Amino acid sequence: MKLTMPRSIYLSKRVNRRAIPSPLRNCAKRNLELHPVFERVEGLRRAAEGSAHLSYSEIGTFRHGNEVHSIPRFCFLGPGSTEEPVRIGVFAAIHGDEPETAHAALEFLERLLKEPERARGYQIYVYPVCNPSGIRDGTRHSRSGVDLNREFWKGSKEPEVYYLERELGVLLFQGVIALHADNTTPGVYAYVRGATLTEALARPALQAAEAFLPRAAGSVIDGFAAQDALIRHQCFEGVLSNPAELHPAPFELIFETPQESPAELQVEAAVAALNRILLEYRPFLAFGQDL
Ligand SMILES: [Zn+2]
């Protein structure tokens, strides 16, 4: 993949392992280079310590061989959302060879810290690295050799899936957004699932992303019938999603950027789409969610 973001963000730096705070020390057991994605997670974790809006935790710790991994979670509580905030989940890098999506999720949070009003009324859970071993290895699959994004809600034994399913099952998000980067499609597109209103969110989200990258053309994208860069209610089995039985159905959107494009444009496109979704979903809340 091409990474043309500022080199300070994307290049690994040699670091003194003792200087790495926990939990990153565990991740760095075998390879003393701290991956730029984890470096950025760590920067944001520190920023969260002094923030009234942002908090950090890990949803689970597990082993692959000798290495200990954990899945980081940030929670951004927007202003005015102490009573009954609307919970949105943003999931990135379930495929480890799509670090652009992790950077997009982290960039989204970094900008929310500067402009918390964008998140008014929302509690936004962001999982920037759903597949930590895959990110470290630069592979789509996890260290177990499994495509985690085909394992959901089918009794998977993969620890990443177990912990992510637990989040989805306990937090019962009103909206779930998964970020992906696709190296076979030269444009942005989205899978629309769940609530009917998802399409009403996806259209403006794609429009916002188009300021940075073109929309995918064609009537077939990623093997599915598509129209205006939207794939409706079809997807691969076992992708990261809400538990099936939720009523009213939450909105579910999979947003894909063209991985052959410069990484900074993919990040900008994804952040623009996320911010637009926050904006567009707000009026729907006034009418309830059974749409
Ligand atoms: Zn993917």
Q: What is the mean pLDDT of residues 37-63?
A: 96
- Measured in Å, residue 81 CA sits from the centre of ligand 1 at 31
- Measured in Å, residue 147 CA sits from the centre of ligand 1 at 9
Looking at domain 7-285, which of 3.40.630.10, 3.40.50.720, 3.30.470.10, 3.40.50.150 is its CATH number? 3.40.630.10
**What's the mean pLDDT when you consider all of the chain?**
88
Q: How far is CA 73 from CA 48, 109, 224, 243, 252, in A?
A: 11, 11, 31, 19, 19
- Measured in Å, residue 261 CA sits from the centre of ligand 1 at 15
Domain boundaries, the chain: 7-285
- Measured in Å, residue 232 CA sits from the centre of ligand 1 at 17
pLDDT for residue 287: 57
> What residues pack around ion ligand 1 (CB closer than 5 A)?
95, 180
- Measured in Å, residue 113 CA sits from the centre of ligand 1 at 27
Q: What is the mean pLDDT of residues 273-282?
A: 96
Q: What is the mean pLDDT of residues 73-79?
A: 96
Question: What confidence category does residue 34 fall into, taking pLDDT thresholds of 50, 70 and 90?
Answer: confident
- Measured in Å, residue 101 CA sits from the centre of ligand 1 at 9
- Measured in Å, residue 145 CA sits from the centre of ligand 1 at 15
- Measured in Å, residue 182 CA sits from the centre of ligand 1 at 6
Sheet containing 54-64: which strands, arranged edge to edge?
54-64, 67-77, 122-127, 86-91, 175-182, 251-258, 189-194, 230-232
| pLDDT over threshold 70, residue 107 | yes
Amino acid of residue 193: R
